[in-house]
Structure 1
Amino acid sequence: MTITQTQALDLWRRALLESVRADAPDLSSRQMAILLTVYLTPPPHTVRGLAQTLNISKPAVTRALDRLGELGLLKRRPDETDRRSVLVQRTVKGSVFLSDFAGQVMEAAQQAASGGMEPPVTAAGLGQAAASLPH
């Protein structure tokens, strides 16, 4: 199945709306990218490795991990084989959060396919909306 850019953006919008309505933690794009990387790619995960994979600085990864750790979605522990390295690990709470989020994405996709919720914005409407933003 191929979708247009506008359809992709509308699907993302619908999934975010479901997430907001579910009162889930409000994660930044960087935090969500780190969370998904840890859960969807094989371990081990380190701060250094995540920074390299995402092409962002180690301090940026550390700040995101601080927040994700506060929320209980990920945890860090020293690497027993290399004390200079910190391992980033999954948690049950993080697994539940992403399972719920995946369900919200799937629900958004089903609603979009069945024409439910608000109608998607057309490319012309997207251009008009962008043009109306203050510069």
Structure 2
Amino acid sequence: MVRYVRSGQPDLTNRQMAMMMLIYADPDPSTVRGLAHKLSVAKPVVTRALNRLGQLGFVRRERDMSDRRNVFIRRTGKGAEFLDLFDRFIAGSADESGTESQRGKRTA
């Protein structure tokens, strides 16, 4: 985690990170209502976290055209890259710059 903090990557709150993991773990699009239910929080709490994730380009919102009350949360390439890098930091295979560290390099 220290390497991650030093890397300069965006700092996400636990709630934002939990949402990222839920959104990216499920192949189906998430909804604000669904995320609120899964995390046992109010919809405005989800909306605030999604605002930040959207600013970072990690997710995007898309209105459900068949039921305009629903908003789908879509994954982005930038968000997938962020989670991949975070995974490598946790696994110890990325250094502070986000590149493969000698310790974490895999050999064939």
- Scaled by the length of structure 2, what TM-score is found? 0.83
- Say whether residues 1:91 and 2:69 are aligned partners: no
Consecutive unaligned residues of structure 1, counting only runs of 5 or more, are: 1-15, 109-135
Q: Quick one: distance in 2 between partners of 1:37 and 1:105?
A: 18
User: What is residue 116 of structure 1 aligned with on the other side?
Assistant: none
- Say whether residues 1:72 and 2:57 are aligned partners: yes
Which 4+ runs in 1 deviate beyond 2 A? none
The structure with the greater share of residues assigned to helix is: 1
Q: Secondary structure at the match of 1:82?
A: coil
- Say whether residues 1:36 and 2:18 are aligned partners: no
Among all aligned residue pairs of Structure 1 and Structure 2, give the percentage whose two residues are the same amino acid: 47
Question: How much does 1:42 deviate?
Answer: 2.8
User: What is residue 27 of structure 1 aligned with on the other side?
Assistant: 12
**Letter paired with 2:18:** A
Report how many aligned residue pairs link the two structures.
Answer: 94
User: What is residue 100 of structure 1 aligned with on the other side?
Assistant: 85
Question: How much does 1:18 deviate?
Answer: 2.0
Higher relative contact order, structure no. (Cα contacts within 8 Å, ≥ 6 residues apart): 1
Aligned counterpart in structure 2 of residue 58 of structure 1, from 21, 29, 43 = 43
**Letter paired with 2:82:** F
Q: Quick one: distance in 2 between partners of 1:69 and 1:36?
A: 15
Question: How much does 1:19 deviate?
Answer: 1.4
Question: How much does 1:65 deviate?
Answer: 0.2
User: What is residue 100 of structure 2 aligned with on the other side?
Assistant: none
Q: Quick one: distance in 2 between partners of 1:21 and 1:29?
A: 18
Q: Quick one: distance in 2 between partners of 1:84 and 1:24?
A: 34
> Rg larger in 1 or in 2?
1
Q: Secondary structure at the match of 2:41?
A: coil
